[in-house]
Structure 1
Amino acid sequence: MSIALRQHFEEIITLTDAEFDYILSYFTPKKLKKHQFLVQEGDAVTNEYFVVSGLLKAAYTNEAGKEHIIQFAMENWWITDYQAVANQSKANLNIDCMEEVDLLCISFADKNKLCDEFHKIEHFFRIKTGLGYIALQKRILSLLNNDAQSRYEQLLKQYPALFQRVPKSLIASFLGVSRETLSRFSRKNQD
């Protein structure tokens, strides 16, 4: 598990073995089975999670009971209820495992401590946060400006592996379309 995390860090920063070993000491491994919840609405959330293997889904359920998928997270992605962690409030999201997952978790306090101690780690998380914000902004703009067919094609181009691992009904929910509409796009794309 530690190899995946080190490679992930070293996409942006360089670490000595001693630095990485110290940083790794702040992470705790966690293993969950398919359909288990990592976070449930109303939970206190203190950790951020790095996905070593597996696939998770973060979703918000509105008052009418409709689920809105906010994020999928697969290998080398980070996931948590960021609002709950940052504000030390209860979770608004449910994060559940779509496959068996191996995670490395770090508490918000430990992450901040590491960022204070190591400029390199602060730099890494600053870059990662910026990239995450850009991805979120692109998703919002796509939802506002693109038709459903364009959103489908963009997701397929950007994350083709997602279509092999996620049921079509959940891809449809993520894109804000019906399952039937998604099937129509899929058939059109195969022609």
Structure 2
Amino acid sequence: MTHLLREEIEKTILLTDEEFDLVLAAFKKKQFKKHQFIVQEQEPVLYEHFILSGLAKAAHLDKEGKEHITQFAFEGSWITDPHAYHSIVPASLNIDCLEDTETLALSREDRAYLYKRVPKMAVFFSEKTIADYITLQKRTLCLISTNAKERYESLLLRHPTLLQRVSKTHIASYLGLSRETLSRLLTT
């Protein structure tokens, strides 16, 4: 399964086997059960997680207790509360598993160690940060400039198997829709 991490990294930089061994040694393998939290609001965030298997979601609960999903993380993707992780402040997101999930977890300290031992990992993480920022910008623009049907179709184009893995309630929350609006979209 660790080949997924190497494939992800080598989309940006090439690593020797020795360098990849150093990278892999910096990560801790973590196992989570379905419905188990990886991160909980108001708690410290010690790790950034690379998903090896399973599915997780990041969400914020508003004052009325309504959940607003900000991200789904599938195999081969990363998830954390970036503000809490990098700024060492309590989490503002909950990240929980929608399926049994296995991750590779990287602490801030181990990331800093990697920068010293494998300096080109700084390039990887810099490029990853830029890509994440672009993804966030696209998602924000989509939310403010497209209608519900366009948002739904765009999501399915990017993640065609999502409907088989995630409840309609979760999809509606991610799209900024009510469950009823999503149901109407699915019947038209």
TM-score normalised over the length of structure 1: 0.94
Shift of 1:62: 1.1
State the one-letter code of the partner of 2:147. Answer: D
1:147-162 map, 5 Å: 147-162=147-162
What's 2:139 paired with? 139
For the residues of structure 2 that align with 1:94 and 1:159, how far apart are their CA atoms? 22
For the residues of structure 2 that align with 1:131 and 1:51, how far apart are their CA atoms? 17
For the residues of structure 1 that align with 2:108 and 2:160, how far apart are their CA atoms? 32
User: Higher mean Cα deviation, 22-31 or 117-126?
Assistant: 117-126
CA distances 1:65-118 after superposition (whole Å, capped 9, x unpaired): 111111110111100111101110111111000000010001012112312443
Residue identity over aligned pairs, in percent, reads 49
Residue 25 of structure 1 aligns to a residue whose secondary structure is helix
Q: Let me know the Cα RMSD of the aligned residues.
A: 1.1
State the one-letter code of the partner of 1:37. Answer: F
Gaps of 5+ in 2: none
Gaps of 5+ in 1: none
What's 1:100 paired with? 100
State the one-letter code of the partner of 1:168. Answer: K
What's 1:174 paired with? 174
State the one-letter code of the partner of 2:159. Answer: Y
TM-score normalised over the length of structure 2: 0.96
What's 1:73 paired with? 73
State the one-letter code of the partner of 1:29. Answer: K
Q: How many residues align?
A: 188
State the one-letter code of the partner of 2:133. Answer: Y
For the residues of structure 2 that align with 1:160 and 1:167, how far apart are their CA atoms? 14
